[in-house]
Structure 1
């Protein structure tokens, strides 16, 4: 690490300001070079950072100057021995900065009335870096600060994203060889429910075929994971169980749609599904108990029941941004979390078979669900896990944090653990950081939740 130059306030400020204020500047407007630099100060954070924080670019294709941008934070516990997590934010097209400051990272925005200055940052006491080294990467190409000078590179897909990430990780270990022996886990949530198991499968196959360097792959974890549209689209039974639609509408929809809600067939099924969506039109899909806010808030809406499985565009709620209260706006009026302009093809329609293959090969898996998410409801996640037909090792029970129920869990054969996070939404660590931090610590330590 000694050869990595420090980056001070003015260097990183440009990068973070582009993210925070949704600037129209592109990465090509800035001076760009490969670098791996220690970040000692951040705008909005008082004093030096109390952790080892690095950021930089890793080349995927040197000929085309195709580079993926990342943040890397060393474990606050024992970085030489603690696991290494590669965190992939969903979307596809949502920046790593989102995972860093809204979900599992060591920083949080102070939510306060915006006064025209830089948003203030504070330390997150429930960061996953308490027990692990974490890499946050802008992926796929075109997300955040990741870029290429070759336009064809921007036509990407699930399978191409996985190949690029495998190459990224290979080259990242060249930059940080001291972490090659650390236990490696691939992690993420939302749309990363596709990317994470497929990438883990790619890495596992590389290990078996003699790929160098040899990664110390141990497993993977995914939260509220997009997995298979038929399983994921269980909005109707979820809404009924949560008291959002009537018994009569639930029964009528279930019968007319034959229990399949992803692609409604038949006129009566369509009529009933429209009635369901009308009942839910003023409900926040990513957390049904939270206020419905425009997409500019940190918690966007989700599009349900389509093959694309993509986030809706900003302000899709129809609520004028300027009229929303502070709990909806956050700290900045024009912040953009995701890039929907990427040329992306969803060429992996289901990741169920990857889960089966990996767990049968001995890799550990943690699947967790915030139980108030209607976008990828826990009902559908439980259903595809049951389809694997693994024996139950430890049956359904509560798991606790500070003596209180934090959720419910079940452990299956082949090192597969499922857990709900009580009261959490689509991005569980965003809503229940303390509970999710405890969940991670126990799981990677091979302790029961």
Structure 2
């Protein structure tokens, strides 16, 4: 474990290529592990672990980070791994900003039906975050029992998008389970990245955010605000499935008035990612194409269902990576617009370390919306947090250039990541890696 991260990654690539070419299915000795856990009858969840490999120490000297993707239906083992923070990118080239050089990284495809996870029958999908949390506790209980070497290592949950909503619920249940001795682990904190914690706050700030960035005119602002108000009324009436449908309508209004702005980064516009509603198409299918398809690009799908599937060697013949993603999304539709701000409050009150981090250029979960729900927290430390000024952080890739701002008070921190959209590690890899080290107290 004393080798440089570059040398370690190079050997990883060589062995990886050998395994793929030979069709072998054994994990890299001491470097990786993967398996399934049946979290409920007929509900199978897939996990993939990379052991930390760093100049600063072996995996026992570094934290364990679990990464949760969004959607719901986005795959951590695929997108998070090969597009954001894993040791290799989608082209199986070395990633210089891989989080494996600072932590062991556990990717879990959740909810069940996501990525390589799968269900045996339609009634096994999760329909709310309570079930998602319950399923994850089963997996974590098994994981830490079978890998006791990780029980004392600081364990963090990092998340992105809808993954943050799930991470909050999972963190609260995990805190309770650890206190009762049901799960043996050293839970050290949760980080909520561009997270769907308060959906309505996001939707209600789309118009103002786009207007102040010159992406809406007065007429467009009026149209978007009107559509967002309809979502608000449905949420206030506790009509959450209707609110999800109206959220979809609001996104269409945004697209029409901005000539197809990218919800994940307002400064980019990929013609291949433009989505237009098809005649007779229901909103679930439309939203799956808007928010699940970008996480399942053809090149990534080919990698996961080709060389990676062959390497792993445990994927059932009838399971396709991403094959159940739309069903995952549709089954969570009734829970999608429900806020979980109260859960974050409970985590803070329980003393859990909570970090919120957000990309400056993200629209779907814009920073304005994040700040609104944070300011409504009932946590007793909020007044002290609000009195602080933020601190600037240099961009590690461009010394002297500000890459982020942050402030932290007691067990709560907020990072504002500049020049980043929804997928911060993809947009600002060096800054994301530095943030990871700071949160896990390595910097």
Contact 1:68 1:146 (C-alpha < 8 Å) held by counterparts: yes
Give CA-to-partner distance per residue, 1:155-202, whole Å, 9 cap, x none.
543211110111101101122110011111111101112100100000
Contact 1:103–1:429 under 8 Å retained in 2: yes
Would the aligned equivalents of 2:69 and 2:80 in 1 still touch at CA under 8 Å?
yes
C-alpha contact (below 8 Å) 1:293/1:317 kept by paired residues:
no
Matched, 1:313 2:282: no
**Which structure is higher in helix share?**
2
Could you report, residue by residue, the CA deviation over 1:379-402 in whole angstroms, capped at 9, with x for unpaired residues? 000111111150226313422123
**1:420: which partner in 2?**
416
Correspondent of 2:49 among 61, 69, 72:
72
Task: Give the alignment's TM-score, normalised by structure 2.
Answer: 0.74
Matched with 1:93 is 73
Change in 2 beyond 3 A, CA 1:249/1:104: same
Aligned partner of 2:268 among 290, 312, 320? 290
Aligned to 2:280: none
Aligned to 1:344: 331
TM-score by length of 1: 0.73
Cα shift at 1:314 = 3.2
* 2:434 matches 1:438: yes
- After superposition, what is the alpha-carbon deviation per residue over 1:337-367, rounded to whole angstroms, capped at 9, x for unaligned? 6811235234371110111111122111111
1:48-99 per-residue CA deviation (whole Å, 9 max, x = no partner) reads xxx81222223324xx364311110011133112111111111111112111
Distance 1:242 1:369 in 2: 17
| Alpha-carbon distance in 2 for matches of 1:376, 1:309 | 19
Aligned equivalent of 1:58, options 28, 37, 40: 37
Is the CA contact 1:69–1:138 (under 8 Å) kept in the aligned structure 2?
yes
Instruction: Tell me the distance in 2 between the aligned counterparts of 1:378 and 1:236.
Output: 13
Task: Rate the CA distance shift 1:221–1:228 in 2: closer, same or farther, 3 A.
Answer: same
Q: Deviations over 1:183-229 (max 9, x none)?
A: 11111101112100100000111223x13233211110011101122
Cα distance 1:226–1:311, how it changes in 2: closer, same or farther (>3 A)?
farther
1:124-139 equivalences under 5 Å are 124-139=95-110
Contact 1:286–1:302 (8 Å) recurs in 2: no
2:85 counterpart residue number: 104
Q: Distance in 1 between matches of 2:62 and 2:109?
A: 23
In structure 1, distance between residues paired with 2:36 and 2:154: 23
Task: Report SS of the residue matched to 1:143.
Answer: coil
- After superposition, residues 347-426 of structure 1 pair within 5 angstroms as 347=335, 349-388=338-377, 390-391=382-383, 392=385, 394-401=388-395, 402-411=399-408, 413-426=409-422
If asked which structure has higher relative contact order (CA below 8 Å, sep 6+), I would say 2
The DSSP-based 3-state class of the residue aligned with 2:36 is strand
Q: 1:227/1:261 Cα in 2 relative to 1: closer, same or farther (>3 Å)?
A: farther
Matches within 5 A, 1:151-300: 151-154=122-125, 156-208=127-179, 210-233=180-203, 234-246=205-217, 250=221, 252=222, 257=226, 260=229, 262-263=231-232, 277-295=255-273
How many angstroms apart in 2 are the aligned matches of 1:240 and 1:211?
51
Q: Could you tell me whether the CA contact under 8 Å between 2:43 and 2:120 is conserved in 1?
A: yes
Paired with 1:310 and 1:238, the residues of 2 have a C-alpha distance of 27
What displacement does 1:140 show?
1.2
- Is the alpha carbon distance of 1:186 and 1:311 closer, same or farther for their aligned partners in structure 2, counting shifts above 3 Å? farther
- Supply the distance in 1 between the matched residues of 2:286 and 2:23 (Cα, whole angstroms): 24
Specify whether residues 396 and 330 from structure 1 end up closer, same or farther in structure 2 by C-alpha distance, changes over 3 A only.
Answer: farther
Paired residues of 1:87 and 1:187 also in contact (CA < 8 A): yes
- Contact kept, 8 Å, 1:368 with 1:421, in 2: the verdict is yes
